[in-house]
């Protein structure tokens, strides 16, 4: 939501965000300990060490069983001057994902690694044991230099070697040759993250989850009985009726920034204003909602804003543009 200062002024120019700006003006701000959406969700649902792979695998229709699993998502690594930039906009077809995973399984059969792609953009590798290494969520590394975000820890060097083998295998693969002929970016690597094993039931941080992305819904479905889950579709206004806390997860802004698409970022922000912030603020004013809390995870400037009905009457807190709050 908050772009860097030089960019925020131009990106936010002309946006009509009456409800969001009123909320930010009258809410109580506080620091937030969450450097990414993934870390926020894992803390809320009680998932240790960002070990999300078994839960998203289950949501993709495959039971994780007693094995360890790690995400191995398809990516494109692009050389730009002295940097190797990670791109996530490859979007393979189901057929391409199946062919590439079949090649991975043939190549790594003697190493005991098995790759699967139950969803074209979410690939997995089955593990005999969870590796002792620290990884970064794909969202944190997207658009940045790969070398600063590679796995670290005791087992990291081994998996760096696996990555090198995968990149060599994919370099001249028929799938990538065909993609390049169509003007599509090659799938020339994978991104390892989220390794773990299925364990006990997750925590129940709310009564209902509404999200436009997959991770929050996967954790809700894997959690304790009673957590409702529903996808927030484009153009759907948030329904403020119901009992209990509701967790709303909006990933549209983050997804647009990962692609460097400020036009889509602006559109997503306007959709958030129209379909979420405006009806929520109306519900708070009418007494249907007790409070609204907006958490904005970030690596350096994570923030929380909380507004109660009484806070709406702090009329001396004047509205500012969104670019003002980015400061």
What DSSP state is assigned to residue 134? Answer: B
Determine contact, residues 26/316, Cβ cutoff 8 Å.
no
Average pLDDT value for residue range 161-184 = 97
- Selected residue with higher pLDDT from 85 and 225: 85
- pLDDT above 80 (res 56): yes
The reported pLDDT for the residue numbered 225 is 56
- pLDDT above 60 (res 185): yes
Task: Name residues whose C-beta falls within 8 Å of residue 160's C-beta, 6 or more positions apart in sequence.
Answer: 150, 151
For residues 56 and 71, give the distance between their C-alpha atoms in angstroms, rounded to a whole number. 9
The reported pLDDT for the residue numbered 219 is 94
- pLDDT above 60 (res 107): yes
Determine contact, residues 287/310, Cβ cutoff 8 Å.
no
Average pLDDT value for residue range 221-230 = 76
Average pLDDT value for residue range 101-126 = 97
For residues 322 and 47, give the distance between their C-alpha atoms in angstroms, rounded to a whole number. 33
Average pLDDT value for residue range 106-117 = 96
Q: What are 23-53's pLDDT values in tens digits?
A: 999 999 999 999 999 999 999 999 999 999 9
- First vs last C-alpha separation in the chain: 12
CA atoms within 13 A on the CB side of 15: 28
- Edge to edge, the sheet with strand 28-31 lists 28-31, 303-308, 291-296
The reported pLDDT for the residue numbered 233 is 82
The reported pLDDT for the residue numbered 168 is 97
- pLDDT above 80 (res 304): yes
**pLDDT confidence bin for 189, thresholds 50/70/90:** very high
**pLDDT confidence bin for 226, thresholds 50/70/90:** low
Task: Name residues whose C-beta falls within 8 Å of residue 287's C-beta, 6 or more positions apart in sequence.
Answer: 309
- pLDDT above 80 (res 326): no
- Selected residue with higher pLDDT from 151 and 327: 151
Name the token pair of 34: 């969450």
* Strand pairing report for 189-197 and 208-211: unpaired
Residue found under tokens 């364990």? 199
Q: What are phi and psi of 152, to 5 degrees?
A: -130, 165
Task: Name residues whose C-beta falls within 8 Å of residue 302's C-beta, 6 or more positions apart in sequence.
Answer: 31, 32, 33, 34, 35, 295, 296
The reported pLDDT for the residue numbered 324 is 87
Summary mean pLDDT of the chain: 93
Q: What are 142-170's pLDDT values in tens digits?
A: 999 999 999 999 999 999 999 999 999 99
Residue found under tokens 């997959």? 214
- pLDDT above 90 (res 60): yes
The reported pLDDT for the residue numbered 173 is 97
The reported pLDDT for the residue numbered 224 is 59
- Edge to edge, the sheet with strand 208-211 lists 228-231, 208-211, 246-249
Task: Name residues whose C-beta falls within 8 Å of residue 93's C-beta, 6 or more positions apart in sequence.
Answer: 120
- Selected residue with higher pLDDT from 9 and 289: 289
Q: If phi over 0 gives left and psi between -120 and 50 gives alpha, with beta otherwise, what is residue 165?
A: alpha
Q: What are phi and psi of 227, to 5 degrees?
A: -85, 110
Q: What are 233-257's pLDDT values in tens digits?
A: 888 898 877 788 999 999 999 988 8
The reported pLDDT for the residue numbered 236 is 85
The reported pLDDT for the residue numbered 317 is 87
Name the token pair of 182: 């169509």
The reported pLDDT for the residue numbered 257 is 86
Task: Name residues whose C-beta falls within 8 Å of residue 283's C-beta, 6 or more positions apart in sequence.
Answer: 240, 289
161-164 LR contacts (CB < 8 Å, sep 24+): 162/108, 162/113, 162/192, 163/189, 163/190, 163/192
């Amino acid at each position: 939501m908050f772009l860097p200062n030089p960019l925020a002024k131009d990106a936010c120019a002309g946006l009509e965000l009456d409800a969001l700006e009123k909320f930010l003006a009258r809410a109580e701000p506080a620091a937030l300990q969450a450097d990414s959406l993934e870390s926020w969700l894992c803390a809320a649902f009680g998932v240790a060490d960002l070990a999300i792979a078994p839960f998203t695998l289950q949501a993709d229709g495959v039971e994780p069983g007693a094995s360890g699993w790690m995400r191995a998502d398809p990516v494109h690594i692009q050389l730009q001057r002295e940097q190797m930039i990670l791109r996530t906009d490859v979007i393979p077809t189901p057929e391409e994902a199946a062919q590439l995973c079949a090649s991975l399984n043939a190549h790594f059969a003697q190493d005991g690694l098995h790759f699967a792609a139950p969803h074209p953009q979410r690939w997995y590798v089955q593990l005999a044991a969870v590796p002792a290494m620290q990884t970064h969520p794909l969202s944190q590394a997207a658009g940045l230099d790969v070398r600063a975000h590679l796995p670290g820890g005791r087992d990291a060097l081994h998996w760096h070697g696996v990555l090198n083998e995968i990149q060599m295998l994919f370099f001249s693969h028929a799938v990538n040759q065909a993609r390049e002929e169509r003007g599509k970016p090659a799938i020339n690597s994978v991104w390892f993250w989220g390794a773990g094993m299925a364990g006990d039931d997750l925590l129940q941080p709310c009564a209902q989850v509404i999200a436009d992305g997959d991770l929050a819904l996967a954790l809700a479905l894997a959690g304790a009985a009673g957590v409702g889950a529903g996808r927030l579709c484009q153009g759907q206004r948030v329904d403020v009726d119901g009992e209990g806390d509701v967790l709303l997860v909006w990933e549209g802004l983050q997804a647009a920034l990962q692609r460097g698409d400020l036009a889509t970022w602006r559109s997503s922000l306007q959709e958030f204003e129209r379909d979420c912030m405006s009806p929520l603020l109306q519900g708070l004013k009418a007494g249907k909602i007790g409070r609204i809390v907006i958490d904005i995870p970030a690596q350096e400037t994570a923030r929380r804003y909380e507004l109660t009905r009484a806070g709406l009457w702090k009329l001396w807190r004047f509205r500012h543009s969104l670019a003002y709050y980015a400061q």
